């Protein structure tokens, strides 16, 4: 059975994988906006395209656990992050009126929420079964 990483390198690995995931997701988001998608659609396209990639990079590299039984909780966590993203995006974008800037401001906050959800629920809870 895999055990969760308890070493001090976990936050560093999470940040490195997250930087790659963020770059890919932001690129997909920007491309979707450029192609004419509404903001919520662009966020959704980024989410869907990133789930598989992010599961591999975060699960495999950051948390060192690619157990497929974690995938439903991982997807649920990402859907929750999506809901937070869309809600926050619309509130903040009314002030900034620049979708790219709005998403850039939200990204670090969403990354922190993602780390907390993944480290304390997705990749920890399954080790208790």
At 23-54, the pLDDT tens digits run 888 899 899 999 999 988 998 898 888 888 89
Q: Kindly compute the dihedral angle of the four CA atoms of residues 49, 127, 81, 107, in this order, to the nearest 10 degrees.
A: -80
What pTM was computed for the model? 0.78
* CA gap 55, 31 in Å, rounded: 22
The reported pLDDT for the residue numbered 127 is 43
Q: Kindly compute the dihedral angle of the four CA atoms of residues 82, 23, 75, 13, in this order, to the nearest 10 degrees.
A: -120
Phi and psi at 63, nearest 5°, equal -95, -10
The reported pLDDT for the residue numbered 2 is 54
Residue 62, Cβ density class (10 Å: 0-12 exposed, 13-18 middle, ≥19 buried):
buried
* CA gap 14, 26 in Å, rounded: 17
Q: Where are the domains of the chain?
A: 10-128
Q: Name the token pair of 126.
A: 């399954």
Q: Helix (H) and strand (E) counts for the chain?
A: 5, 0
Q: What is the pLDDT of residues 97-126, one digit of tens each?
A: 999 899 899 989 998 999 999 999 999 844
């Amino acid at each position: 059975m895999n055990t969760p990483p308890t070493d001090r390198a976990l936050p560093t690995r999470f940040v490195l994988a997250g930087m790659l995931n963020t770059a890919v997701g932001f690129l997909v988001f920007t491309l979707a906006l450029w192609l004419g998608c509404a903001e919520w659609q662009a966020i959704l396209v980024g989410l869907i395209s990133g789930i598989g990639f992010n599961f591999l990079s975060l699960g495999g590299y950051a948390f060192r656990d690619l157990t497929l039984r974690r995938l439903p909780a991982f997807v649920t966590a990402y859907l929750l992050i999506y809901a937070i993203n869309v809600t926050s995006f619309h509130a903040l974008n009314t002030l900034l009126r620049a979708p790219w800037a709005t998403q850039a401001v939200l990204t670090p906050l969403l990354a922190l929420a993602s780390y907390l959800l993944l480290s304390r629920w997705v990749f920890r809870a399954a080790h208790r079964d």
